Amino acid sequence: MKGRRNQPFGSKILREPFAFGICLRYTETLLLLRNFPLPEIVRVSHSPSPMAKEFNVPPVIFPSGGSANVPSQRRAPAAAPTFQPSRSAANPGPNPNLPFMSFDIGSAQPSSSFSPAPVFAGGTFTSGTFEDEPPLLEELGINTRQIWRKTVSILNPLRVNHNLHEDADLSGPFLFLLAFGLFQLLAGKFHFGIILGWVTVAALFIYVVFNMLAGRSGNLDLYRCLSLVGYCMLPMVIFSAVSLFVPHGGVVIFVMGGVFALWSTRVCTQLLVELASCGEENRGLVAYACLLVYLLFSLLVIF
């Protein structure tokens, strides 16, 4: 330890390459600032410092006629002249063969008449107006007159016109079920989901029973069955509206529920037998299935 303390400071610098390199660069910087020529110094080979960074310094050019002490920066080269095509004397203006479009909004004149949008019909290009288009309900397949006629035919249980129900639809049944749910809501019962679910299950039940009774000769499809069951819900809608003014818990409400259930059963049974073939001999069984369905809805109104 004593031998290391007595060594001069210069020997430590010469032994450590990193410290010696820093001292050497510092000396070169001082000599460059004072414009002294660099002495020939023997550099000690050492590994580059991880702290060292490279900087891009612009080159310095000394003028030949002046003094070497005043450096001058290199000037940027002048920009190249832009290319301008020469126009021929025969055609100095724009080319008349090319179409010209004016973008001046004020120069455009407003059109006096409305031009309808083109309509493609049958592979031909025609132009039509909004007056020629069919009504929205007709485009959606909703025939209000047909729905009204079917509704009136169900109101008379003794004389039901089954020819009106040959064209099945779900617009009328959806309106009846919506009205049934609204009357139930006025009574304090939120049964929209129950009503839709029960009608769907009831249509499936009647469809399966009727096709099992009719066999292969039956031609009742599920869409028509759902339409008939929905239209025959009209007496249940009337019963739901009347029950708002009748006290619950008495005999009157039960009698009314039975009457309206028989009304719906008679209408639905007659429509199913008339519209589907081979159902006349099984009228009683079909009527029993329909009675179970509509008694269930009457009990939903009562309780």
Q: How far is CA 155 from CA 26, 36, 235, 254, in A?
A: 113, 121, 8, 21
User: Residue 11 carries which DSSP code?
Assistant: H
pTM attached to this predicted model = 0.56
**pLDDT, position 141:** 75
**pLDDT, position 234:** 96
**pLDDT, position 162:** 86
235-289 pLDDT per residue, tens: 999 999 999 999 988 899 999 999 999 999 999 999 998 887 666 788 899 999 9
DSSP run (H or E) holding 258: helix 251-275
Helix (H, G, I), strand (E, B) or coil at 118: strand
Closest CA relative to residue 174, chosen from 192, 149, 157: 192
**Mean pLDDT (the chain, rounded):** 75
CA Rg value for the chain: 50
Helix (H, G, I), strand (E, B) or coil at 262: helix
Q: Is 204 exposed, middle or buried (0-12, 13-18, 19+ CB in 10 A)?
A: middle
Tokens 């069984």 locate to: 285
DSSP run (H or E) holding 21: helix 17-33
Residue type, 99: P
Between residues 255 and 104, the one the model is more confident about? 255
**pLDDT, position 38:** 47
For residue 183, is pLDDT > 50?
Answer: yes
For residue 45, is pLDDT > 50?
Answer: no
Backbone angles phi, psi at 162, to 5 degrees: -75, -15
The share of the chain scoring above pLDDT 90, in percent, equals 38
Closest CA relative to residue 22, chosen from 42, 60, 51: 51
Q: What is the DSSP string of 166-234?
A: SS--SHHHHHHHHHHHHHHHHTT---HHHHHHHHHHHHHHHHHHHHHHHGGG----HHHHHHHHHHTTH
For residue 67, is pLDDT > 70?
Answer: no
